[in-house]
């Protein structure tokens, strides 16, 4: 019944429903901002940190301490992208990243405009061009107003640059061009190396594409790194340290969690009492998450899957495997949506993506967090005494929806391919 209902819903009707819910979300966020002076959940609790995923690294690019003092784990491609925004700003003009933001607020507006423009480019590339719907402006609007995109815009995170290269990679047909875009993508966010899974299936092992992609990725990394002055040994040490001990705060992880592994951190915000069994169940979520991701990985490597199924699996693994990627990783579903729209057997996965993107649940609170005071950048840098912070029910529902998407896709693969290894 569920499957039939999903397949009967046409794109136009679904799009209007999504936009309706998204306008409810945006109205709630704006009302809360104007009423309280800061944004509600799911936006990060540090209300003075708006755009700082952009201004923090930019500050250290200007100060020439990106790979020394800042110990950045961003490959050098990010450094050169940020260098564009550093033009005309001398190191002596600024003393910290917050002053940089206050003195040059126009840069925050420019980067937000660029990110929105990237969304427009992405929904007009590749498989999106095959979607039979004349009002592309509405598709663009639905993507921009989705919760993960709004979350990423508020952070100012460079994930949007990765989204562009991902779309260009999927759009390219020439193998060399495809490898170049994949190399650029991995050199923005290294965890996109997971996409190499597409070339590792034992039934269609693509040695040529794998070697080509790895060599081009390595060439981009080392050449750009040399020009940026990277000490490669120190860089790898910093990256491994970040991977083991993410710098994301607990509040940052649970604001917009994308993986049920992130839910394990909620126990740090709730006083269950010593020896409570609830802490065990929250910790168990992380184990369940990693086992499920590993199971999906093994499945798509061993079963005789199609190239599309390998792509879907790669993206689902990306959005589930680690809490260190941040909630904005969910924006990459934008490139997957047009593929799912055209394939009936996996169209049901769209339902969970749309729920993640648009379901208006952030006005339902379940945990209150007490802080003595805050500064709110979007509230005009005002000092606010005794603010009331809440985690919304969305912090529970969205990772559960994302995990459900993983499980349903996995079950579909087992129904379609009951045997693990096929003998030719």
d(CA 79, CA 75): 7
Task: Report the b/e string of 306-344 with b at 16+ CB within 10 A.
Answer: eeebbbbbbbbbbbbbbbbbbbbbbbbbbbbbbbbbeee
Q: What phi and psi values does residue 154 have, to the nearest 5 degrees?
A: -65, -35
Residue 2 has pLDDT above 70, yes or no: no
Q: Where are the domains of the chain?
A: 2-416
| Tokens found for residue 290 | 């990693």
Could you tell me the pLDDT band of residue 245, with boundaries at 50, 70 and 90? low
Looking at the DSSP bridge assignments, the partners of residue 391 are 367
Of 171, 214, 224, 163, nearest to 193 by C-alpha is 214
Task: Report the b/e string of 235-257 with b at 16+ CB within 10 A.
Answer: beebbeeeeeeeebeebbbbbbb
How large is the average pLDDT for residues 225-236? Answer: 91
Could you tell me the pLDDT band of residue 249, with boundaries at 50, 70 and 90? low
Does pTM surpass 0.85?
Answer: yes
Q: What phi and psi values does residue 128 have, to the nearest 5 degrees?
A: -60, -30
**CB of 344 within 8 A of CB of 308?**
no
Q: Alpha carbon of 108 to those of 85, 155, 323, 340, 400: distances in Å?
A: 10, 10, 26, 34, 32
Q: What phi and psi values does residue 51 have, to the nearest 5 degrees?
A: 70, 5
Q: What does the mean pLDDT of the chain come to?
A: 88
pLDDT digits (tens, 9 = 90+) for 152-195: 999 999 999 999 999 999 999 999 999 999 999 999 999 999 99
| Tokens found for residue 100 | 């940089």
Residue 21 has pLDDT above 70, yes or no: yes
How large is the average pLDDT for residues 54-80? Answer: 93
Element at 21 (helix H, strand E): helix 11-36
Give the least confident one: 63-77, 122-136, 210-224: 122-136
Of 271 and 207, more confident: 207
Residue 219 has pLDDT above 90, yes or no: yes
Task: Give Cβ neighbours of residue 155 (< 8 Å, ≥ 6 apart).
Answer: 44, 49, 50, 51, 52, 53, 54, 326, 328
How large is the average pLDDT for residues 208-212? Answer: 96
Is the preceding peptide bond at 12 cis, omega within 30 degrees of 0? no
Task: Give Cβ neighbours of residue 391 (< 8 Å, ≥ 6 apart).
Answer: 41, 254, 255, 266, 269, 365, 366, 367, 369
Residue 421 has pLDDT above 70, yes or no: no
pLDDT digits (tens, 9 = 90+) for 112-149: 999 999 999 999 998 998 887 767 889 999 999 999 99
Residue 285 has pLDDT above 80, yes or no: yes
Give the model's pLDDT for residue 424.
45
Looking at the DSSP bridge assignments, the partners of residue 374 are 384
């Amino acid at each position: 019944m569920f499957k039939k209902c999903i397949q009967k819903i046409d794109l136009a009707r679904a799009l209007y429903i999504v936009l309706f819910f998204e306008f409810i979300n945006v109205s709630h966020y704006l009302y809360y901002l104007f009423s309280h002076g800061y944004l509600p959940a799911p936006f990060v609790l540090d209300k003075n940190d708006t755009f700082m995923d952009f201004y923090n690294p930019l500050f250290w690019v200007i100060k020439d301490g990106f790979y020394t003092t800042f110990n950045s784990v961003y490959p050098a491609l990010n450094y050169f992208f940020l260098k564009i925004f550093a033009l005309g700003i001398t190191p002596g003009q600024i003393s910290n990243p917050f002053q940089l933001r206050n003195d040059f607020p126009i840069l925050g507006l420019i980067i937000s405009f660029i990110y929105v423009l990237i969304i427009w480019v992405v929904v007009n590339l590749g498989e999106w061009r095959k979607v039979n719907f004349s009002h592309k402006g509405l598709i663009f609007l639905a993507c921009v107003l989705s919760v993960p995109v709004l979350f990423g815009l508020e952070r100012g995170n460079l994930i949007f640059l990765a989204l562009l290269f991902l779309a260009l990679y999927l759009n390219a047909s020439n193998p060399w061009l495809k490898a170049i875009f994949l190399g650029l993508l991995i050199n923005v966010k290294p965890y996109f190396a997971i996409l190499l899974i597409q070339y590792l299936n034992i039934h269609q092992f693509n040695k040529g594409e794998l070697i080509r992609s790895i060599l081009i990725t390595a060439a981009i990394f080392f050449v750009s790194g040399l020009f940026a002055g990277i000490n490669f040994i120190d860089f790898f040490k910093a990256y491994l340290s970040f991977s083991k001990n993410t710098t994301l705060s607990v509040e940052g992880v649970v604001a917009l969690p994308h993986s049920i592994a992130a839910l394990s951190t909620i126990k740090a915000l709730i006083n269950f009492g010593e020896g409570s069994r609830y802490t065990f169940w929250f910790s168990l979520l992380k184990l369940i998450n990693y086992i499920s991701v590993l199971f999906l990985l093994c499945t798509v490597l061993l079963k005789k899957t199609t190239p599309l199924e390998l792509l879907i699996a790669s993206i689902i693994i990306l959005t589930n495997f680690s809490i260190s990627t941040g909630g904005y990783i969910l924006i990459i579903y934008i490139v997957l949506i047009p593929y799912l729209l055209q394939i009936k057997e996996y169209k049901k996965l769209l339902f969970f993506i749309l729920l993640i993107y648009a379901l208006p649940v952030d006005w339902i609170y379940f945990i209150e967090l007490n802080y003595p005071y805050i500064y709110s950048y979007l509230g005009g840098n005002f000092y606010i005494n005794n603010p009331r912070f809440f985690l919304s029910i969305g912090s529970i529902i969205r990772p559960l929806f994302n995990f459900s998407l993983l499980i349903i896709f996995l079950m579909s693969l087992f129904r379609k391919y009951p045997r693990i290894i096929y003998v030719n």
